């Protein structure tokens, strides 16, 4: 025993020094999202997966064996964060045919879409619901360095009531099909949270109201009771996880906020009381205001049933007004796009819509960086290009504060200090 320890200790002592890998990025400018300003002629020094120094070009002393990346004409932006994606499906697939995809098939799609999302500049995503723990496996593969993709917070199965938005209502009754996240009653809900965590979920999602793309649900109507939502939130928080609620309708939004939910997804029908409640509780809103355009333009061609396209028509305009009002009132906003309703990789298209509906370009960038990092309780290492932070850095050709559409064409992507697109 003692001998073994000695051998192990001397192996450590005499192991060759593995020197850290350093990369220096030079660029025309950098968006300091926290201070809300552009820093010109900048250099960022990265060592392994972290940023160790940010300075004016020429001020950083170059060691040996340092790789230099020159991004002339480009502006650096912190790696983007999308708080609502579904990597397991594609908008352009036939809507009803895709319901027949097996979990392995969905997993293959998630592997593909994870890479597409990363190359679009989104270095962190929250996957709010997937069948069979598929995205948890994809997350683990990415973390193990086996496949490229963003850093993922994965919810496992979305939790909701029998016949609700997150159940399978498309099959006939005799098929007895039921989504794995169906739970009725507070203890059943708690059990589902526990089951998700058991199989690796690192965030929780509940379906508080009806939705656009489910069958037979009323989009504005509450489904989980406040007591059930509170059970999920308490259980998630006790286990150190944050929880998100799909909620379009006013009552469901309010119930979820009062139950202590961390973020409201969609947030379509926000009245003044809902806005005041979000302010009071510090709840984040994650409003997917781009995809209504995609669904109304391409939904029919993709085989989306008339029932669902009709519900999209009810939601679109009012959702964007809710977004405008809530942002104006100072509610905390994150970037959540519900990618899968529109094609993965087009996530950046939502920025210009956030500006059209009332945000400044800076606010839209903050939603996708520091605000999302704060929601994930990772403000100390995600969302900024700053010494000590993880090296998630992207670049666009020009100044996004002057032209926010530049966020649709990301030309450089580094995640964890590794370059994926140059
Ligand atoms: N997953 C959401 C639902 O089915 C998508 C809503 C899309 N529409 C919108 N206007 N945000 O309810």
**Over the stretch 385-415, which tens digit does the pLDDT of each residue have?**
999 999 999 999 999 999 999 999 999 999 9
Residue 2 clears pLDDT 70, i.e. is over it: no
**pLDDT band, very low/low/confident/very high, at 352 (cuts 50, 70, 90):** very high
| Confidence grade of residue 384 (pLDDT, cut at 50, 70, 90) | very high
- What is the pLDDT at residue 64? 84
pLDDT band at 280 (very low <50, low <70, confident <90, very high): very high
358-368 mean pLDDT? 98
Burial of 169: CB neighbours in 10 Å, binned 0-12, 13-18, 19+: middle
Name the average pLDDT for the chain: 96
Rounded to the nearest angstrom, the distance between the alpha carbon of 164 and the centre of ligand 1 is 14
Q: Give the per-residue pLDDT at 63.
A: 82
Write out pLDDT tens, residues 301-326. Answer: 999 999 999 999 999 999 999 999 99
Region of 344 on the Ramachandran plot (φ > 0 left; ψ -120 to 50 alpha; else beta):
beta
CA of 346 to the centre of ligand 1 (A): 16
Whether this prediction's pTM lies above 0.85 is answered by yes
Could you tell me which residues come within 8 angstroms of residue 56 by beta carbon, excluding any fewer than 6 positions away?
41, 42, 43
Q: Residue 20 — pLDDT band, cuts 50, 70, 90?
A: confident
Which residue of 266, 296, 299 sits with most ligand 1 atoms within 8 Å of its CB, as the best mutation to test the pocket? 266
Interval between CA 211 and ligand 1 midpoint (Å):
6
Tell how far the Cα of 212 is from the centroid of ligand 1, in angstroms. Answer: 5
Looking at residue 62, its pLDDT comes to 86
Q: State what percent of residues in the chain have pLDDT above 90.
A: 94
Average pLDDT over residues 259-265: 99
Name the residue at shortest CA distance from atom 6 of ligand 1. 212
pLDDT at 1 over 50: no
pLDDT at 27: 98
Probe target for ligand 1 pocket from 87, 207, 212, with the most ligand atoms within 8 Å of CB: 212
Task: Answer yes or no: is pLDDT of 78 > 50.
Answer: yes
Q: In what order do the strands lie in the sheet with 263-266?
A: 204-207, 243-247, 263-266, 284-286, 333-334
H or E segment at 308? helix 306-329
| Residue whose token pair is 């999920």 | 232
Domains along the sequence of the chain with CATH: 16-78+384-421 (2.30.40.10), 80-375 (3.20.20.140)
What distance in angstroms lies between residue 83's CA and the mean position of ligand 1's atoms? 14
pLDDT tens-digit readout, 205-255: 999 999 999 999 999 999 999 999 999 999 999 999 999 999 999 999 999
Share of the chain above pLDDT 70, in %: 96
List ligand 1's pocket residues with C-beta within 6 A: 211-213, 266, 288, 291-292, 312, 315-316, 319, 338, 341
Half-sphere exposure of 273 (CA within 13 A, CB side): 8
Residue having the nearest C-alpha atom to atom 5 of ligand 1: 212
């Amino acid at each position: 025993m003692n001998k073994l320890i000695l051998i192990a200790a001397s192996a450590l002592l005499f192991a060759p020094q593995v020197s850290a890998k350093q990369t220096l990025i030079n660029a025309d400018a950098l968006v300091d999202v926290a201070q809300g300003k552009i820093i010109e002629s900048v250099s960022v020094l990265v060592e392994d997966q972290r940023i160790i120094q940010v300075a004016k070009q020429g001020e950083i002393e170059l060691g040996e064996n340092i790789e230099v990346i020159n991004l002339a004409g480009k502006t650096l932006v912190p790696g983007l964060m999308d708080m609502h994606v579904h990597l397991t499906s594609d908008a352009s697939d036939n809507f009803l045919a895709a319901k027949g995809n097996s979990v392995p098939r969905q997993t293959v799609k998630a592997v593909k879409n994870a890479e597409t999302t990363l190359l679009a500049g989104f270095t962190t995503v929250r996957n709010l619901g997937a069948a069979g723990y598929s995205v948890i496996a994809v997350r683990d593969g990415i973390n193990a360095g086996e496949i490229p993709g963003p850093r993922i917070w994965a919810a496992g199965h979305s939790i909701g009531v029998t016949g609700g938005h997150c159940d399978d209502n498309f099959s006939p009754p005799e098929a007895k099909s039921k989504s794995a996240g169906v739970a009725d009653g507070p203890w059943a809900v708690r059990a589902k949270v526990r089951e998700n965590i058991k199989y690796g979920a690192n965030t929780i999602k509940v379906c508080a109201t009806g939705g656009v793309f489910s069958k037979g649900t009323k989009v504005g109507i509450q489904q989980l009771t406040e007591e059930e939502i509170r059970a999920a939130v308490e259980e998630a928080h006790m286990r150190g996880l944050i929880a998100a609620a799909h909620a379009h309708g006013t009552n469901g939004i309010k119930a979820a906020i009062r139950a202590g939910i961390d973020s409201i997804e969609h947030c379509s029908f926000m009245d003044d009381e809902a806005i005041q409640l979000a302010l009071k509780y510090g709840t984040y809103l994650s409003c997917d205001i781009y995809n209504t355009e995609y669904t109304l333009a391409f939904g029919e061609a993709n085989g989306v049933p008339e029932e669902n396209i009709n519900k999209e028509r009810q939601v679109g305009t009012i959702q964007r007004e809710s977004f405008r009002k809530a942002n104006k009132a100072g509610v905390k906003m994150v970037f959540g796009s519900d990618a899968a309703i529109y094609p993965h990789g087009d996530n950046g298209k939502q920025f210009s819509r956030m500006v059209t509906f009332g945000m400044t370009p800076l606010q839209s960038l903050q939603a996708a960086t520091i605000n999302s990092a704060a929601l994930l309780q990772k403000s100390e290492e995600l969302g900024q290009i700053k010494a000590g932070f993880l090296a998630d850095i992207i670049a666009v050709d020009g100044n996004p504060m002057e032209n926010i559409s530049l966020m649709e064409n990301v030309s450089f992507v580094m995640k964890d200090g590794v370059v994926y697109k140059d």
